[in-house]
Amino acid sequence: MLYFDHNATTPVAPEVADAMDVALRQVFGNPSSTHRAGQHARQSVENARRSIASFLRVTPAEVVFTSGGTESNNLAIFGLMRNLPGDRKHAVTTVIEHPAALEPFRQLEREGVDVTYLGADAAGLVNVKELERHLRPETVMVSVMHANNETGAIQPIAEIAALVHRLRGAGQSIYFHSDGVQAVGKIEAPAQPGPDLYSASAHKVYAPKGTGILAVRKGVPLHGIQLGGRHERERRAGTENVPGIMGLARALELCATDDPHHVASLRDRFETQVLSALDEVDLNGSPANRLANTSNLLFRGVSGEALLIALDVQGMAVSTGAACSSGAVEPSHVLLAMGRTREEAKSSVRFSFGRYNSEQEVDQVAGAVIASVRRLRATRKAPAREAQLV
Ligand X SMILES: *Cc1c(COP(=O)(O)O)cnc(C)c1O
Q: Toward ligand X, which CB reaches closer, 145 or 225?
A: 145
Q: What residues from 209 to 228 belong to the interface with ligand X (CB under 6 A)?
A: 212
| Residue 146 phi, psi (nearest 5) | -75, -50
Active-site residue, selected from the candidate residues 324, 329, 371, 382: 324
Burial of 297 (0-12, 13-18, 19+ CB in 10 A): buried
Pick from 10, 44, 51, 70 the residue near ligand X by CB under 6 A.
70
Query: Does 324 participate in catalysis according to the annotation?
Result: yes
Regarding 373 and contact with ligand X (CB under 6 A), the answer is no
Regarding 369 and contact with ligand X (CB under 6 A), the answer is no
Looking only at Cα atoms, what is the longest distance across the chain?
Answer: 83
Regarding 179 and contact with ligand X (CB under 6 A), the answer is yes
Contacts of residues 374-382 at CB distance under 8 Å and 24 or more positions apart, as own/partner, are 374/278, 375/310, 376/302, 376/303, 376/306, 376/307, 376/310, 377/301, 377/302, 380/301, 380/302, 381/301
- Strand 212-216 relative to strand 281-283, pairing: unpaired
Mapped onto helix, strand or coil, the DSSP state of residue 339 is coil
Residue 182 CB, nearest distance to ligand X (Å)? 5
Stretch that binds ligand X, among 47-55, 176-184, 227-235, 331-339 (CB under 6 A): 176-184
With CA atoms as reference, report the closest residue to 137 among 176, 97, 88, 104: 88
Regarding 186 and contact with ligand X (CB under 6 A), the answer is no
What is the Cα gyration radius of the chain?
Answer: 22
Pick from 13, 45, 96, 100 the residue near ligand X by CB under 6 A.
100
Q: Toward ligand X, which CB reaches closer, 145 or 281?
A: 145
Q: Toward ligand X, which CB reaches closer, 145 or 189?
A: 145
DSSP calls for 120-178: --TTS---HHHHHHH--TTEEEEE--SB-TTT-BBP-HHHHHHHHHHHHHTT---EEEE
Q: Toward ligand X, which CB reaches closer, 115 or 181?
A: 181
Regarding 185 and contact with ligand X (CB under 6 A), the answer is no
How many residues line the site for ligand X (CB under 6 A)? 14
Contact pattern from residue 30 through residue 69 relative to ligand X, giving x for each residue in contact according to CB under 6 A and a dash for the rest: --------------------------------------xx
Residue 23 CB, nearest distance to ligand X (Å)? 19
Q: Toward ligand X, which CB reaches closer, 212 or 354?
A: 212
> Is 307 within 8 Å of 353 (Cβ atoms)?
no
Residue ranges binding ligand X (CB under 6 A): 68-70, 98, 100, 145, 149, 179, 181-182, 201, 203-204, 212
Q: Name the residues annotated as catalytic.
A: 324
